[in-house]
Homo-oligomer: A and B are copies of this chain.
Amino acid sequence: MRVAVDAMGGDKAPHEIVKGSVQAAQQFPDKEIVLVGDEKALQHELNAYGTTPKNITIYHASQVVGMDDPATYSIRQKTNSSITHSVKLVANGEASAIVSAGHTGATVAAATLHLKTLKGVRRPGIAITLPTQHGICLIIDVGANIACKPIHLFQYGVMAAVFGKYIYGIKNPRIGLLNIGEESAKGNDLVKETFTLLSNSHLNFVGNVEGREIFDNKADAVVCEGFVGNVMLKFAEGLAINLLSTIKAEAMKSFWSKLGLGLCKPAMEKLRAKMDFSEYGGAPLLGVNGVCIIGHGRSDSKAIQNAIKLALQLSKNEVNEHIISEVEKTNALTADIA
């Protein structure tokens, strides 16, 4: 099987993207990797590795979607972008999966447009893996769909259960609904209607989950609308950065606490490794007809290598096929829903 890697996407592209792809090519010698992007630039990067692994090829794409380009503009105007060409390789059957650390909105738009959704799936959603003290918790959606209906949220639960089962080996994933309280009557119309759908389904639904409970091992996956998931994650990222830099700034003010901070460094490093998104490679856009992994804009070679690994796992474990059959099981429940 072949993975199309958007080699121009991300803050550290193309250098770290090519490096991670070369590492993945060496790790998975029986799989093929297609680097999509500016041929000259990519060849130049590859030359640094001496002999290019045989399972790496370049596919030329002359344009790059900038991080400030509006998603819809990039799809309509930049038809030769590395994102669009990567997606088209999958749409044409020349590759099975895309990995991109570039413009998330453009990747979602291109994947939705060219790959379409899986049979029965209404809207794709991005599922991120959140490391916690107890293991992991999946959050879906974190920004693919900001005009969310109950049926979309419900299907996110179905897809997250498949992802949790076939990628993380969780037998019967506990699905939670992000809400502002635990009682079933809580929340806005969107979550109340979703609550009913989830309750009546075959899923292992554990009810409403409050923001802080995501870390409490109450659910293996939590569903929420893309707008909410997106601002929530970014706020938490901002808080974590603010918190750690404030600790550092305070500690630097005295000799003893500065020394203390130095002694704590190994513990902090272990924490960093635990919380490190690059370990998880990227977040799948679940629900499109093809495997699509969205990497963090800051992805380095390790994150790209892990994203490629995740793409291979999704293909090998037939996550999309399982999603189709699990969604089909809910047809009777959702038949009348617009």
Report the interface size for chain A: residues with CB under 8 A from the other chain: 68
Residue on B with the closest CB to A190?
Answer: B227
* A241 and B215 contact, Cβ closer than 8 Å, known pairs A180-B143, A180-B146, A234-B210: yes
* A233 and B256 contact, Cβ closer than 8 Å, known pairs A70-B185, A188-B227: no
Inter-subunit contact B183/A212 (CB<8 Å): no
Which of A36-44, A80-88, A196-204, A264-272 forms part of the interface with chain B? A264-272
Asked if A178 is at the interface of the complex by the 8 Å CB criterion, the answer is yes
A185 to B: closest C-beta gap in Å: 6
* A238 and B254 contact, Cβ closer than 8 Å, known pairs A70-B185, A187-B146, A188-B227: no
Encode A262-300 as 1/0 by CB contact (under 8 A) with B.
111111101100110000000000000000000000000
Residue on B with the closest CB to A69?
Answer: B183
Inter-subunit contact B245/A133 (CB<8 Å): yes
* A251 and B231 contact, Cβ closer than 8 Å, known pairs A237-B212, A261-B260: no
A142 to B: closest C-beta gap in Å: 10
Residues in B with CB closer than 8 Å to A256 are 263, 266
A222 to B: closest C-beta gap in Å: 10
* A264 and B260 contact, Cβ closer than 8 Å, known pairs A132-B242, A227-B187: yes
Residue on B with the closest CB to A68?
Answer: B183
Residue on B with the closest CB to A72?
Answer: B185
Docked Cα-Cα span, A244 to B257, in Å, equals 17
Inter-subunit contact A211/B238 (CB<8 Å): yes
Asked if A76 is at the interface of the complex by the 8 Å CB criterion, the answer is no
Encode A171-183 as 1/0 by CB contact (under 8 A) with B.
0000000111101
* A271 and B247 contact, Cβ closer than 8 Å, known pairs A231-B211, A235-B212, A259-B260: yes
* Chain A, range 111-151, C-beta contacts under 8 Å to B: 132-133, 143, 146-147
Inter-subunit contact B227/A212 (CB<8 Å): no
Inter-subunit contact B232/A231 (CB<8 Å): yes
Asked if A216 is at the interface of the complex by the 8 Å CB criterion, the answer is yes
Inter-subunit contact A263/B257 (CB<8 Å): yes
A243 to B: closest C-beta gap in Å: 6
Docked Cα-Cα span, A326 to B227, in Å, equals 30
A213 to B: closest C-beta gap in Å: 7
Inter-subunit contact A242/B188 (CB<8 Å): no
* A224 and B215 contact, Cβ closer than 8 Å, known pairs A260-B264, A264-B260: no
Inter-subunit contact B240/A239 (CB<8 Å): yes
Contact of A228 among B68, B231, B264, B265 (CB under 8 A): B231
Asked if A214 is at the interface of the complex by the 8 Å CB criterion, the answer is yes
Contact of A241 among B212, B250, B266 (CB under 8 A): B212
Asked if A316 is at the interface of the complex by the 8 Å CB criterion, the answer is no
Asked if A246 is at the interface of the complex by the 8 Å CB criterion, the answer is yes
Given pairs A180-B227, A224-B231, 9 additional interface contacts (CB within 8 A): A147-B188, A210-B231, A211-B232, A211-B235, A235-B236, A236-B239, A239-B240, A246-B275, A263-B263
Which positions in A face B, CB cutoff 8 Å?
68, 70, 105, 132-133, 143, 146-147, 178-181, 183, 185, 187-189, 191, 210-216, 224, 226-228, 230-247, 249-251, 253-254, 256-257, 259-268, 270-271, 274-275
